[in-house]
């Protein structure tokens, strides 16, 4: 009895203290990070009013009192553009928030009433606070982790191997520019900068075309490094391990040695600091994946997404021997993986969407479970843009989606079936998959709240235990 009381009291003290949590959101370009954070912040700020958070127990039980934005701790990180995103959604006609680049942060102070159990159940309960630091950063930055495992030469070999015919075509300008470049010649700054610009152009074109497995990640999102020599390198085609001795004996100012130096600098001064100064300090993480977008784009892009995710997820492999553990001792203790934009398919497909996501990430999920990091896969729509309507077809009622496309035209669509397993050739031959890009629901039809699908389930998994 006394022991129970002591525990209750210590729980109470623990709750009375200001709790803090650093939650990071990532995903490849256009995965839905800005939409997710905007909706999350909006739901929490409007908790108890227009928010719809039934799957978050603190909200359902009326214990979530509200949330306020407060000044962030780290003044060196740009502010997450929440107001701009809301302004876009509230515009007439509504627009999606602009693409973002780099890392950004927003700090929320959440007030809630702790749960009261057992002996303290009858006590008048006061409130507690949780300070939630939210971060948005490009998943592309995580694609650079494996680059730490290479030196310049082995990285060149790896990049050559990834040049499929389709990529080769996108890279044709760069390949032409590099054609006559002799690794042994003395380096000409302007020429290397020009070729690097072609290489960055290839990476951008490949991303436009839906490819995701692209290195170095900062070439796509250079931020404040734009134009710096550290971003003026590229792989040399046609060199390999057999040439090592010859290449390494070249003079310091040769093309090869210059590029190799820049590569090493990029590793030390760009990739490592991100892990050391940011990544290592996140407590919780959600990885957003646009599975439906990749299905829509066809087999080659889908394959590419799968490879990129395998690379990206290496940053969460905390096995004893993983590269990351050797370098940084990270502390993320809970992970969510979410298929976004689920409002592009009818609700009965959502289960299959999760199954497909799990199939896509089967290996990384296995590693995470083995390392005892709790991980949960789910499907969600941060900002639902469609409405479900049953349509009668030859006597049976089937679900369809109603939404307005980006040009303002209303559509009623049957988006098709999501495969519950990794699609094989016959899937692509038979049906493929097609969806329309819808614009956000206008304010008039959504009211003050932001409609979503299972954003509250994600929130519960990510912060629910801190609100008890
Ligand atoms: N229908 C629907 N579309 C969404 C949803 N979330 C995002 N989208 C679409 O996906 C696009 C990209 O979403 P963002 O939130 O900007 O994605 P991001 O990951 O922040 O993209 P970058 O900042 O460019 O890396 C949006 O412009 C929308 O077209 C959603 O919940 N439903
Ligand atoms: Mg964004």
pLDDT, tens digit, for every residue of 105-115? 999 999 999 88
Residue 264 sits in which domain range? 142-277
- Residue 85 within a domain: yes
Bridge partners (DSSP) listed for residue 66: 111
- Residue 430 within a domain: no
Here the contacts of 317-324 (C-beta below 8 Å, separation 24 or greater) are 317/364, 317/367, 317/368, 317/371, 318/368, 318/371, 318/373, 319/367, 319/370, 319/371, 323/145, 323/146, 323/148, 323/149, 324/145, 324/275
Is residue 424 classed exposed, middle or buried when 0-12, 13-18 and 19+ CB atoms within 10 A define those classes? exposed
- Residue 157 within a domain: yes
Whether the pLDDT of residue 451 is over 80: the answer is: yes
Whether the pLDDT of residue 330 is over 90: the answer is: no
Domain match, 9 and 77 both: yes
Would you state the structure tokens that stand for residue 33, as one six-digit string? 């990070």
Compute, in angstroms, the gap from residue 32 CA to the centroid of ligand 2: 7
Q: Is 344 in the pocket of ligand 1 (CB under 6 A)?
A: yes
Q: Three-class SS of residue 432?
A: coil
With bands split at pLDDT 50, 70 and 90, how would you rate the model's confidence at 367?
A: confident
Whether the pLDDT of residue 191 is over 90: the answer is: yes
Pocket test for ligand 1, best of 24, 26, 30 (most atoms within 8 A of CB): 30
- Residue 455 within a domain: yes
Question: For residue 49, what pLDDT is reported?
Answer: 67
Decide which of 245 and 119 is more confident.
245
Domain match, 206 and 265 both: yes
Roughly how many angstroms between the first and final C-alpha of the chain, as a whole number?
Answer: 22
Q: Report the CATH number that the domain containing residue 68 is assigned in CATH.
A: 3.40.50
CA 215 to chain centroid, in Å, comes to 16
- Residue 403 within a domain: no
Domain match, 117 and 25 both: yes
Domain match, 27 and 65 both: yes
Nearest residue (CA) to ligand 1, atom 28: 96
Q: Is 343 in the pocket of ligand 1 (CB under 6 A)?
A: yes
Pocket test for ligand 1, best of 26, 28, 34, 386 (most atoms within 8 A of CB): 34
d(CA 194, CA 187): 12
- Residue 413 within a domain: no
Domain match, 147 and 261 both: yes
- pLDDT tens profile 263-291: 999 999 999 999 988 998 999 999 999 99
Domain match, 160 and 112 both: no
Angle at alpha carbon of residue 313, lines to 221 and 130, rounded to 5° = 85
Total of domains in the chain? 2
Domain match, 72 and 105 both: yes
Domain match, 56 and 127 both: yes
Domain match, 204 and 288 both: no
Compute, in angstroms, the gap from residue 47 CA to the centroid of ligand 1: 23
Domain match, 155 and 93 both: no
- Residue 396 within a domain: no
- Residue 41 within a domain: yes
Domain match, 303 and 450 both: yes
Q: List the beta strands (DSSP E) in 305-362.
A: 334-339
The per-residue pLDDT of the chain, averaged, comes to 89
Domain match, 236 and 297 both: no
Whether the pLDDT of residue 125 is over 70: the answer is: no
Question: For residue 389, what pLDDT is reported?
Answer: 92
């Amino acid at each position: 009895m006394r022991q129970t009381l002591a525990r209750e009291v210590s729980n109470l003290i623990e709750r009375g203290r200001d709790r803090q949590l650093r939650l990071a959101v990532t995903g490849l370009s256009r995965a839905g990070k800005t939409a997710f954070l905007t909706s999350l912040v909006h739901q929490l700020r409007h908790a108890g009013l227009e928010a719809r958070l039934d799957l978050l127990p603190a909200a359902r039980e009326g214990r979530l009192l509200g949330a306020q934005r407060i000044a962030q701790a780290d003044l060196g990180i740009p502010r997450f553009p929440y107001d701009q995103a809301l302004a876009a959604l509230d515009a007439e006609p509504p627009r999606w928030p602009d693409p973002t680049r780099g890392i950004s942060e927003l700090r929320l102070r959440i007030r809630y009433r702790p749960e009261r159990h057992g002996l303290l159940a009858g006590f008048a309960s006061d409130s507690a606070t949780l300070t939630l630091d939210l971060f948005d950063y490009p998943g592309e930055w995580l694609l650079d982790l494996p680059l730490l495992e290479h030196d310049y030469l082995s990285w060149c070999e790896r990049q050559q191997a990834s040049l499929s015919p389709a990529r080769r075509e996108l890279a044709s300008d760069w390949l032409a520019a590099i054609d006559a470049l002799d690794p042994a010649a003395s380096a000409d700054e302007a020429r290397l900068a020009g070729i690097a610009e072609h290489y960055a152009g290839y990476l951008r074109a490949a991303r436009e075309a839906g490819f995701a497995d692209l290195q170095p990640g900062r070439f796509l999102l250079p931020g404040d490094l734009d134009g710096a020599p550290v971003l003026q390198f590229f792989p040399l085609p046609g060199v390999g391990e057999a040439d090592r001795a010859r290449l390494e004996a070249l003079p310091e100012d040769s093309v090869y040695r210059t590029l190799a130096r820049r590569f090493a600098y990029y590793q030390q001064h760009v990739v490592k600091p991100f892990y050391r100064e940011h990544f290592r300090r996140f407590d919780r993480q959600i990885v957003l994946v646009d599975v439906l977008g990749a299905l829509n784009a066809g087999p080659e892009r889908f394959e590419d997404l799968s490879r990129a995710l395998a690379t990206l997820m290496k940053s969460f492999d905390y096995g004893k021997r993983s590269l990351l553990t050797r370098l940084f001792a990270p502390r993320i203790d809970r992970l969510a993986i979410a298929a976004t934009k689920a409002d592009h398919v009818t609700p009965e497909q959502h289960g299959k969407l999760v199954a497909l996501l799990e199939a896509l990430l089967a290996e990384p999920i296995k590693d995470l479970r083995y390392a005892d990091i709790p991980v949960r896969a789910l499907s969600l729509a941060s900002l639902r843009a469609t409405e479900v309507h049953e349509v009668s077809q030859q006597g049976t009622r089937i679900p369809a989606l109603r939404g307005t496309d980006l040009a303002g035209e209303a559509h009623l669509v049957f988006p098709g079936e999501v495969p519950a397993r990794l699609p094989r050739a016959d899937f692509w031959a038979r049906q493929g998959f097609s969806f329309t890009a819808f614009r956000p629901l206008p304010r008039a039809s959504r009211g003050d709240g932001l409609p979503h699908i299972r954003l509250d389930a994600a929130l519960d998994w990510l912060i629910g235990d801190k609100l008890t």
